[in-house]
Amino acid sequence: MGSATVPAAATGRVLVIGLDGANLDRVKAADAPNLHSLMAQGMTAPSTLPTVPMALTSSGPGWSTVATGVWPDKHKVWGNLFLLADFDSHPDFLTRIERSRPALATYAAAGWEPLASARKGGPVFSSAVDKRLSLDGSTNGNRTEDGKVAVAAAEELHGGDPDAAFVYFGEIDSAGHGHGAASTQYLDAIARTDRNVGMLLGAVTTRPKYHEENWQILVTTDHGHTDKGGHGGFTVKERGTFVIATGPGISPGSVRHDVRQVDVAATALSHVGVAVDGLDGRPLETTGEDAFDTVRPLLRTRVDESGVPAGTLGFTHTPPDGWRVDNSAMGGGGVAEWRGWTFATDEFWSQTQWGQCRETNVRSRDVFAVADSDEWSDRSTKGSFDSTLISPRWATTGGSAVTLSYRSHYRHWPGQRAEVRVSFDGGPWTTARSHTRTALASGESIHIDVPAGATDIRVGFRYRGGNDWYWAVDDVRVGPAR
Give residue 1's pLDDT: 56
Tell me: pLDDT of 288 over 70.
Answer: no
Give residue 247's pLDDT: 94
Q: Which residues make beta-bridge pairs with 164?
A: 14, 106
pLDDT above 70 covers what percent of the chain? 96
**Digit-coded pLDDT (tens) for 223-241:** 999 999 999 999 999 999 9
Tell me: pLDDT of 137 over 90.
Answer: no
Angle at 293 between CA 289 and CA 295, to 5 degrees: 135
For residue 308, what is the DSSP state?
A: S
Q: What is the DSSP string of 75-143?
A: H---SS--TT--TTTS--HHHHHHHH-TTS-EEEEESSHHHH-GGGT--SS-TTSSEEEE---TTSS-H
Give residue 3's pLDDT: 45
Q: Yes or no: say if 299 and 316 are a contact pair by the CB < 8 Å rule.
A: yes
For residue 248, what is the DSSP state?
A: T
- Under 8 Å CB-to-CB from 295, ≥6 apart: which residues? 316, 318, 319, 320, 343, 367
Best CA proximity match to 145, nearest among 115, 118, 171, 165: 171
pLDDT confidence band for 118 (50 / 70 / 90)? confident
Q: Yes or no: say if 308 and 352 are a contact pair by the CB < 8 Å rule.
A: yes
Rg for the chain, CA atoms, rounded: 23
33 upstream amide cis, omega within 30 of 0: no
**Digit-coded pLDDT (tens) for 329-355:** 999 999 999 999 999 999 999 999 999
Dihedral pair phi/psi, residue 446, rounded to 5°: -130, 125
What average pLDDT does range 148-173 have in this prediction? 97
Give residue 86's pLDDT: 97
Cα 246 from Cα 268, distance rounded (Å): 12
Best CA proximity match to 152, nearest among 200, 202, 118, 95: 200
- Judged by average pLDDT, the poorest of 3-17, 48-62, 112-126, 157-171 is 3-17
**Digit-coded pLDDT (tens) for 348-360:** 999 999 999 999 9
Q: What is the DSSP string of 276-304?
A: -TT-S---TT-----GGGGGGGG-B--SS
253 by DSSP, 3-state: which?
coil
DSSP3 helix / strand / coil % (the chain, rounded to 5): 25, 25, 45
Cα 481 from Cα 450, distance rounded (Å): 10
Number of Cβ within 10 Å of residue 90's Cβ equals 24
Angle between helices 184-205 and 143-159 (to 10 degrees): 10
- Under 8 Å CB-to-CB from 230, ≥6 apart: which residues? 176, 177, 238
Tell me: pLDDT of 89 over 70.
Answer: yes
- Under 8 Å CB-to-CB from 171, ≥6 apart: which residues? 141, 142, 143, 145, 146, 189, 192, 193
Judged on CB neighbours under 10 Å (0-12, 13-18, 19+), 152 is middle
Is the overall model pTM greater than 0.75, yes or no? yes
List, in order of start, the domains of the chain with CATH numbers: 12-271 (3.40.720.10), 291-480 (2.60.120.260)
What average pLDDT does range 106-125 have in this prediction? 87
pLDDT averaged over every residue in the chain: 95
For residue 15, what is the DSSP state?
A: E
Give residue 348's pLDDT: 98
Q: Which residues make beta-bridge pairs with 43?
A: 245, 254
Q: Yes or no: say if 440 and 472 are a contact pair by the CB < 8 Å rule.
A: no
What average pLDDT does range 411-425 have in this prediction? 97
The H or E element containing residue 35 is helix 33-41
Give residue 370's pLDDT: 98
CA torsion sign, 172 to 119 to 91 to 74? Answer: negative
What average pLDDT does range 48-57 have in this prediction? 96
Tell me: pLDDT of 40 over 60.
Answer: yes
Give residue 9's pLDDT: 54
Cα separation values, 421 from 114, 435, 461, 464, Å: 47, 11, 6, 13
What average pLDDT does range 278-291 have in this prediction? 90
Q: What is the dihedral of CA 92, 118, 189, 312, to 10 degrees?
A: 50
Instruction: Report the length, in residues, of the chain.
Output: 482
Give residue 4's pLDDT: 45
Q: Yes or no: say if 27 and 35 are a contact pair by the CB < 8 Å rule.
A: yes
309 upstream amide cis, omega within 30 of 0: no
Give residue 287's pLDDT: 75
Cα 133 from Cα 366, distance rounded (Å): 36
